[in-house]
Chains A and B, each alone.
Chain A
Amino acid sequence: MELLFDNKRSHRVTIPAHIPNSSPSPVNSVSSSSSSSECPKSNVTFLIKWMRDNLLKERVELFMEGETVRPGILVLINDTDWELEGEGAYELKNGDEIVFISTLHGG
């Protein structure tokens, strides 16, 4: 798996606490300070896309399929299977450890 990420097994990253709002703010918005509270908190789906855009060096299709990881990649959130944590909807917290293990490397 690390082959796709600059041959590094571990990455310590800092990502926005909230998923950035991609649409432009309306000119007559009441208060810009309230915009972050309207944005959802960063979750694992956002992290995967962020990794694709910022860390992935090549061959996106070997890591992602659609909006999620490719079948055969096991995701652990703090040593727990992500299926038990809500998969991509799990909201990230400071210090979380997300592990991606490729199970395509046979027997």
Chain B
Amino acid sequence: MASCGTVEDAKDEIMPKRKPECFYPTVSLKFRKALAQLLNPNEKTKKPKTRDDHNAGDLVLGFSGGIGSAILLDMVWRRYVLDADGKQDATGGSERRRPSVWKNIRIVHVEQCAAYPKSPDRTSEVHRLTERYPEYQLTILRIEDAFDPIWWKKHISLSQDSVRDDFSMDLSSLSLSHDALEAPALPVDRLRAYLETFPTSTAVNHAVDTLTRLLLQYFARSTRSSHILLGSSLTSLSVSLISGISQGSGFTVKEERDEIWEDIRISRPLREIGVKECAAWLWWRGLEVLPRNAADLVASNEAATIQRLTRDFIIGLERDYPSTVSAISRTLEKVGAKGDSSGLCPLCQRPTQSGVQAWKAKISMNELYPPNPDLSTKHNPFVERLCYACHTSLTSRSSRSRKPIGGQTVLPMWVTNNVASLVESSSMAVSPVMKNVGRAEMRESINEFLLE
């Protein structure tokens, strides 16, 4: 059905003014356009595509249980399984008009209840919500799997070498050590110990998001998947872009929209669809979202985090200035970071801006007391590879800091597994040794600009 304003006698049912018969095709068209950019980024011809043209393996659909991911499942199912056009051939049977792009489609849900002690396990609800898609394979991951060497070796590791979990991180210097650490035995306890190291609630949320994203990515790699789709709508993408920039992720703003990681393309095909359109689609298609319990609902609305404050701000903007949310996303689509990348951050696996740690040492004060000169001049390849956002998450603290600085902590499996190349490689190009700049030295460098 054409998406146009020719149906004069139908009443507008959803803002912006769009005829009801046009709502589904219009929203579907936005979804398909985003998918076309993902599947054929350089293709300009109009010849019919086959599966081989896309060089596609399997598809992973990230399912958080929210509105966006519920709609994502439905749209992918209608497009690539149901064939929503439903045209019938002469004999009365329906003929599939397009081949399925992927061999297998997997729904992957990362259960986060271990990260939030008051949250219930919702995996039974996930099973119930995804029963309507029997063609998909459902996989439940648990966020504590990121700290489980046995699970990692069995499900994720591509090599037959033993996985390594014998490195820890010193919290005062952020250096890695091979010293024996009395780490908790259970992955859940290791996860909670890791999250306890973050000084603010914002940083904890950032860490949980990073663990969830990377579990999805490593699972996709282990299943030879070629694409990951996530259900971020226009509004939720704008929220994550702004809150990410607020936390120091400006260098990787493009990766928040689309990224390629180890030949896997990660995309958010609902990024042009507003939250109101998502809600209408959800209601009219009879879809459900994962129920939350009262404690979760209260906690998510009371936590004084950058993520919540940004969400409230942008949701409030959307009511009074709806085009602003679109403007945020479209403007940031055009933004590109200056400078080169020096590699991937070991924690979040996103590009690290070259020289960012040296720059950060000049502009920020990480300790209240004079730094230990031995530590400040010691070569720390792990810190040098950390991106600005991850380093800030680990070190930024307020007067209401959760914990005193010090001690050691465990790290996620993808860090400890690759740490040998970080610590021992002599061929790695490193930036000049970074040291904290003392107050006297800093004053001397800006002396001519000071007003006495």
Contacts and interface: CB of A to CB of B under 8 A. Distances in A.
Interface of A: 2-4, 58-59, 62, 71-72, 74, 76, 79-81, 83-84, 99, 101, 103-107
B130 interface: no
Contacts of B416: none
Contact of B68 (A4, A79, A107): A107
A79 B13 contact: yes
A57 to B, nearest CB: 9
A45 to B, nearest CB: 16
Contact of B67 (A2, A62, A76, A106): A106
A74 B316 contact: no
Given A79-B284, A105-B66, A62 B301 contact: yes
Interface residues of B, number: 41
A71 B67 CA distance: 16
Interface in B290-304: 291-294, 297-298, 301
A105 B289 contact: yes
Contact of A59 (B276, B289, B298): B298
Given A3-B297, A84-B15, A103 B315 contact: yes
Interface string B302-319: 000000000110011011
B316 A106 contact: no
B69 A107 contact: yes
Nearest to B66: A106
A104 B283 contact: no
B11 A103 contact: no
Contacts of A71: 312, 315-316, 318-319
Contacts of B233: 107
A101 B286 CA distance: 12
Given A71-B319, A101-B283, A80 B13 contact: yes
Interface in B41-72: 64, 66-69
A29 B294 CA distance: 49
Given A3-B293, A62-B297, A62-B301, A107 B15 contact: no
Residue of A2, A71, A80, A84 ringed by the most chain B CB atoms within 10 A? A71
B335 interface: no
A103 B315 CA distance: 9
Residue of A62, A79, A81, A103 ringed by the most chain B CB atoms within 10 A? A103
Contacts of A4: 297
